[in-house]
Structure 1
Amino acid sequence: MLFKITLAMIAFAANSVLCRLALAGQQIDPMSFSSIRIVSGAVVLFVIWWLSAARSKIEWNFKNGMFLATYILAFTYAYVKIDAGVGALLLFGTVQLTMVFYGIFHGEILNLQKGFGLLIALAGIIVLLLPGVSAPSLFYSLMMGISGLAWAAYSISGKRMLNPLSSSLANFIVAVPIVLIVSFVLKQDIFMNTKGVVLAMISGGLTSSIAYVLWYSIVKNIDRITASTVQLSVPCFAILGGSLFIGEEVSLRVILSAVVVLCGITVVIFASRKNIASTK
């Protein structure tokens, strides 16, 4: 399970790096990136589903497709102006809050230790958003927040899905026309080169589609609080990737924020393991 979680988190971070690499370098416009990403993901999942030995029935769910489309559109637009690591911090900070409070509302227990860890993680996000020279744009931060809400809803719904592959395929197929229509309605300047198209295809066909199937197989077996918390490791991978592959400068504020968030994750995971051990 730990190996699967690590793979999924690295893939999530790769999405941030790929998107930012494409947009920051003016390789492609954001709406075209979103469109190619979602179509590529749908095609790859369909091929995998079609070639699978046990071709399970596709689980259609319009809401999940809407969540996926909203996440992808807001995510891409936010990365026009936000660095990879900073965007990931905002995204998964929002995911953490949403999934934790949803879990509590539906009967999951938030003990003192988990609550303390959550507060620490939130403090890390607050450090990032405090006014200052290196603080991200409020508008683009809000866009990433919307993306986080949509991804949290998408993750929560994963616990009810019977088959990760057929569910993910249905979600991508539903999301395709939504993303394409929104891209057409916004009518932004369209531009792209080969590198931008390839980056969008990798994001959609590998680090989105396959990783989301893997994620759906994970969330079925862990509680919502743990699922939300492990995703806060993604910003750390994204910060590293942004620095290595894009040359983004990592400010002291971002480093401090990431360290504080990781401390909060550690506390929550330790509390979860302690609870499991005490019930045995």
Structure 2
Amino acid sequence: MKTPDLAEMLLLAALWGASFLFMRVAAPHFGPLALMEVRVLIAAGLLLVWLALRGELAALWRHKGLLLLLGTINSALPFVLLGYATLSLTAGLAAILNATVPLWGALVAWAWLGDRPSRWRLLGLGLGFAGVLALVWGRVALQPGGAGLAVVAALTATLSYGVAASYTKRHASQVAPLVLATGSQLGAALVLAPLALWRWPAQAVPAQAWVSAAALGVLCTALAYVLFFRLVARLGPARSITVTYLIPAFAVLWGAVFLHEPLTLHMALGAAVILAGVTLSTGLWPRPPRQA
């Protein structure tokens, strides 16, 4: 990997890791619904400008139904669930749970697309979910506002991402990535708008929360999509998705530096087991033998 590509991957991981920090700061003031509407509305506006400059706006209308559904399952639903989760979980723990996306993606692809994993990948799935169980053990009491519901919300969000990945592969593989990114954010904004108005905070939102919400939209969504698609174009999707493994490290770092969140040995071990499972389940290791 060339140095510029590595630099962009680290920047992307830092931005997506920071999203958990910004949610921790802003979600208590906005609430998950209003915060995520602000996030996707900002991102959609910026991406629409970029799409217009490329002369590809017409593609949004051609794929409007697909993009609306994708925006619901790949942005609106998981964003709100993760926003709810960060009301109770630390930024680092939420990011570690978010790293299970490839595990859910593999399971959904197996069940929906018939993409049966190899024995190594099955081992990885089992190992990854064992890591999740070890990480959340003792936190799953389902009390209103408690950590148990937050854990369930975070894992449901990652399952939604997994469903969206298979849906995209089945129905949207021919749609340009930038059109998918813009349309999904626009679709999410439309879906969340009435809910956000219903749950809009009654009291004034402090400036710090507005700054965090704006950073979520501009940096962690719009700019992050631009960086990700640049990496996909240069490195391919398989190598680009390895950014997933770097996100928890940055989320833990930002949480420790700015919110003074602790990193426990329990969290570190759970994260290591989950990432080992993800490495196996996604086929990053062991590498298949090269054909002659």
Cα distance in 1 for partners of 2:243, 2:116 equals 17
Mean CA deviation greater in 228-237 or 114-123 = 228-237
**Residue equivalent to 2:123:** 116
* Alignment partner of 1:50 out of 44, 52, 75: 52
Q: Is the 8 A contact 1:84 1:242 kept in 2?
A: yes
Q: Is the 8 A contact 2:31 2:199 kept in 1?
A: no
2:68 aligned with 1:62: yes
Does the C-alpha gap of structure 1 residues 8 and 150 become closer, same or farther in structure 2, counting only changes over 3 Å?
farther
Where does 1:94-243 land on structure 2 (aligned, <5 Å)?
95-105=101-111, 106-131=113-138, 137-159=147-169, 160-186=173-199, 189-212=202-225, 214-215=227-228, 218=232, 221-222=236-237, 231-243=244-256
Unaligned runs of 5+ in 2: none
Does the C-alpha gap of structure 1 residues 74 and 111 become closer, same or farther in structure 2, counting only changes over 3 Å?
same
Could you list the per-position Cα deviations for residues 148-202 of structure 1 after superposition, in whole angstroms to 9, with x for gaps in the alignment? Answer: 2222233334442521112211111111122121123345544412221111111
Q: Is the 8 A contact 1:155 1:216 kept in 2?
A: no
Cα distance in 1 for partners of 2:228, 2:163 equals 13
Secondary structure of the residue that 2:22 maps to in structure 1?
helix
Cα distance in 2 for partners of 1:259, 1:177 equals 38
Cα distance in 2 for partners of 1:7, 1:17 equals 15
**Residue equivalent to 2:23:** 19
Secondary structure of the residue that 2:138 maps to in structure 1?
coil
Secondary structure of the residue that 2:17 maps to in structure 1?
helix
Where does 1:231-270 land on structure 2 (aligned, <5 Å)?
231-268=244-281
Could you list the per-position Cα deviations for residues 46-78 of structure 1 after superposition, in whole angstroms to 9, with x for gaps in the alignment? Answer: 121222366672242221021121112212122
Amino acid across the alignment from 1:11: L
Could you tell me the percent identity over the aligned residues? 21
Does the C-alpha gap of structure 1 residues 265 and 238 become closer, same or farther in structure 2, counting only changes over 3 Å?
same
Secondary structure of the residue that 2:287 maps to in structure 1?
helix
Q: Is the 8 A contact 1:66 1:175 kept in 2?
A: yes
Cα distance in 2 for partners of 1:132, 1:147 equals 17
Cα distance in 2 for partners of 1:7, 1:278 equals 32
Amino acid across the alignment from 2:216: S
The alignment yields a C-alpha RMSD, in angstroms, of: 3.2
Q: CA deviation at 1:37?
A: 0.7
Amino acid across the alignment from 1:114: R
Cα distance in 2 for partners of 1:201, 1:157 equals 29
Amino acid across the alignment from 1:255: A
Cα distance in 1 for partners of 2:228, 2:221 equals 10
Does the C-alpha gap of structure 1 residues 197 and 49 become closer, same or farther in structure 2, counting only changes over 3 Å?
same
Secondary structure of the residue that 1:57 maps to in structure 2?
helix
**Residue equivalent to 1:278:** 290
Q: CA deviation at 1:27?
A: 5.2
Amino acid across the alignment from 1:91: N
Cα distance in 2 for partners of 1:213, 1:157 equals 22
Cα distance in 2 for partners of 1:20, 1:71 equals 15
Amino acid across the alignment from 1:242: G
Cα distance in 2 for partners of 1:166, 1:263 equals 33
Q: CA deviation at 1:80?
A: 1.0
Q: CA deviation at 1:12?
A: 2.3
Secondary structure of the residue that 2:218 maps to in structure 1?
helix
Cα distance in 1 for partners of 2:81, 2:282 equals 29
* Alignment partner of 1:74 out of 73, 77, 81: 81
Could you list the per-position Cα deviations for residues 227-270 of structure 1 after superposition, in whole angstroms to 9, with x for gaps in the alignment? Answer: 88763542232122211222111122111111222333444566
Does the C-alpha gap of structure 1 residues 146 and 51 become closer, same or farther in structure 2, counting only changes over 3 Å?
same
Cα distance in 1 for partners of 2:56, 2:83 equals 34
Cα distance in 2 for partners of 1:102, 1:148 equals 11
Amino acid across the alignment from 2:40: I
Could you list the per-position Cα deviations for residues 203-245 of structure 1 after superposition, in whole angstroms to 9, with x for gaps in the alignment? Answer: 112211232355467499546xx88876354223212221122
Q: TM-score, normalised by structure 2?
A: 0.79
Cα distance in 2 for partners of 1:279, 1:216 equals 29
